[in-house]
């Protein structure tokens, strides 16, 4: 009897953990898509028109902080596919470059987040942002048939670091509000 | 921000600063710029005002040199990032049109007293 109750309560707990993850993941995916679409419609930064702020990454960082790497991957890659479909860039070079950036950023942030408390959300996001721009320039090389785009790499990384730190700070602010309750 | 965050960000920023002169103005003399296109590489003098028609991967990129600076006047590309970059003249400046695979790099160094400039 006891063991049956225990197994029922275990399955209920496991079920609610899965439900919570699905709910958090899909909610954050929706947020990431809206931010991604807003950003797709905006021009680049004034001094560096090839770069954008990376607002959608806020949702990925929050997913990594309140859920796990798998949820963050669904939010990040789901966003790339949905925004790609909506803007007609899925499967085009622009879409491939976006996907490469998202995967590199996700990998970097997941690696830092799995090191316990050594790095905070600000560090994850800043390094993820740098990985994002570098991966984009690397994948753009074969697409345009020249490695000359790597000339943009140092400037891109220098601009990406503070922008990534900013979105990481925004994500941290959101996470602190979420976990207070 | 944790201590590890600050160290990581500082290391990445230093690496980018050190790499800048190596990749941005490498192999380009002072007062010159290079246009790298799918068909090859052209060196141009910033002192001579001129307009260059560059064949890109999607269409033509028009590069203008005027008053010692270089800019992309027009380009067959969807987002026009290269055109919106505007005119550049500082050493290490880069204009890129990713869809066309065309990159303009300004060479030299020290002429304006700066090692590099963030654009």
A141 within some domain: yes
- pLDDT given for residue A124 in this prediction: 97
**Cα–Cα distance measured from residue B89 to residue A121, given in angstroms and rounded to the nearest whole number:** 38
Look at residue B104 and give its three-state secondary structure: strand
A98 within some domain: yes
- Least confident window among A79-93, A124-138, A163-177, B84-98: B84-98
A17 within some domain: no
pLDDT surpassing 80 at residue A86 = yes
Chain B's closest residue to A97, CA to CA, is: B98
* Residues from chain B contacting residue A159 (CB–CB below 8 Å): 118
SS (H, E, C) chain A: CHHHHHHHHHHHHHHHHHHHHHHHHHHHHHHHHHHHHHHHHCCCCCCCCCCCCCCCHHHHHHHHHHCCHHHHHHHHHHHHHHHHHHHCCCCCHHHHHHHHHHHHHHHHHHHHHCCCCCCCHHHHHHHHHHHHHHHHHHHHHHHHCCHHHHHHHHHHHHHHHHHHHHHHHHHHHHHHHHHHC
Point out which residues pair with B106 in neighbouring strands: B33
pLDDT surpassing 50 at residue A114 = yes
- pLDDT given for residue B119 in this prediction: 62
Look at residue B22 and give its three-state secondary structure: helix
A69 within some domain: yes
- pLDDT given for residue B22 in this prediction: 79
- pLDDT given for residue A1 in this prediction: 45
**Which CATH number characterizes residue A63's domain?**
1.10.1760
* Shortest alpha-carbon distance between residue B40 and chain A (Å): 9
pLDDT surpassing 60 at residue A181 = no
- pLDDT given for residue B112 in this prediction: 46
Q: Domain residues for A106?
A: 22-180
pLDDT digits (tens, 9 = 90+) for A8-57: 555 667 778 888 889 999 999 999 999 999 998 887 777 777 788 999 99
Q: What is the tally of structural domains in chain A?
A: 1
Within an 8 Å CB–CB cutoff, is residue B10 touching chain A?
Answer: no
Q: Are B41 and B35 in contact (CB under 8 A)?
A: yes
Chain B's closest residue to A92, CA to CA, is: B99
More confident residue, A61 or B115: A61
State whether B103 and A123 contact (CB < 8 Å).
Answer: no
A6 within some domain: no
End-to-end CA distance of chain A: 36
**Using only C-alpha atoms, what is the Rg of chain A?**
18
Distances (CA, A) of A161 to A54, A84, A137, A156, B8: 11, 25, 16, 9, 10
- pLDDT given for residue B11 in this prediction: 96
A140 within some domain: yes
State whether B81 and A123 contact (CB < 8 Å).
Answer: no
Tens-of-pLDDT digits for all 119 residues of chain B?
A: 899 999 999 999 999 999 887 787 777 888 889 998 888 889 999 999 999 999 988 899 999 999 999 999 999 988 888 898 899 988 888 888 888 888 898 887 544 445 555 66
Point out which residues pair with A136 in neighbouring strands: none
pLDDT surpassing 90 at residue A106 = yes
Chain A's closest residue to B86, CA to CA, is: A47
Shortest CB distance from A123 goes to which of B2, B24, B101? B2
Percent of chain A with pLDDT over 70: 90
Look at residue A141 and give its three-state secondary structure: helix
More confident residue, A5 or A17: A17
pLDDT surpassing 90 at residue A93 = no
* Residues from chain B contacting residue A123 (CB–CB below 8 Å): 1-2, 4-5, 8-9
Residues 6+ apart with CB under 8 A from A68: A21
pLDDT digits (tens, 9 = 90+) for A155-173: 899 999 999 999 999 999 9
**Cα–Cα distance measured from residue A143 to residue A147, given in angstroms and rounded to the nearest whole number:** 10
- pLDDT given for residue B87 in this prediction: 92
A169 within some domain: yes
Taking one residue from A and the other from B, the number of pairs with CB-CB distance under 8 angstroms is 110
A100 within some domain: yes
State whether B119 and A140 contact (CB < 8 Å).
Answer: no
């Amino acid at each position: 009897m006891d063991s049956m109750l225990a197994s029922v309560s275990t399955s209920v707990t496991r079920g609610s953990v899965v439900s919570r993850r699905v709910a958090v993941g899909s909610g954050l995916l929706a947020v990431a898509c809206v931010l991604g679409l807003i950003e797709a419609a905006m021009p680049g930064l004034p001094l560096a028109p090839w770069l954008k702020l990376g607002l959608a990454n806020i949702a990925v960082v929050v997913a990594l902080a309140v859920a796990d790497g798998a949820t963050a991957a669904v939010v990040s890659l789901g966003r790339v596919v949905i925004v790609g479909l909506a803007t007609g860039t899925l499967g085009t070079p622009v879409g491939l470059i976006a996907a490469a950036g998202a995967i590199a950023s996700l990998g970097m942030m997941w690696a830092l987040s799995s090191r316990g408390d050594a790095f905070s959300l600000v560090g994850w996001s800043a390094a993820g942002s740098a990985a994002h721009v570098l991966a984009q320039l690397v994948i753009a090389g074969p697409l345009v048939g020249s490695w000359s785009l790597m000339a943009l790499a140092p400037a891109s990384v220098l601009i990406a670091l503070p922008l990534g730190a900013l979105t990481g700070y925004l994500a941290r602010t959101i996470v602190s509000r979420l976990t207070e309750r | 921000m944790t201590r590890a965050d600050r160290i990581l960000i500082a290391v990445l920023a230093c690496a980018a600063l050190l790499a800048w002169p190596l990749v941005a103005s490498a192999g380009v003399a002072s007062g010159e710029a290079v246009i790298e296109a799918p068909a090859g590489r052209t060196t141009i003098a910033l002192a001579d005002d001129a307009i260059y028609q560059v064949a890109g991967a999607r269409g033509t990129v028009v590069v203008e040199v005027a008053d010692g600076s270089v800019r992309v006047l027009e380009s067959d590309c969807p987002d026009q990032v290269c055109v919106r970059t505007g005119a550049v003249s500082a050493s290490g400046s880069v204009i890129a049109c990713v869809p066309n695979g065309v990159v303009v790099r300004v060479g030299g160094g020290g002429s304006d007293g700066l090692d590099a400039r963030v654009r």
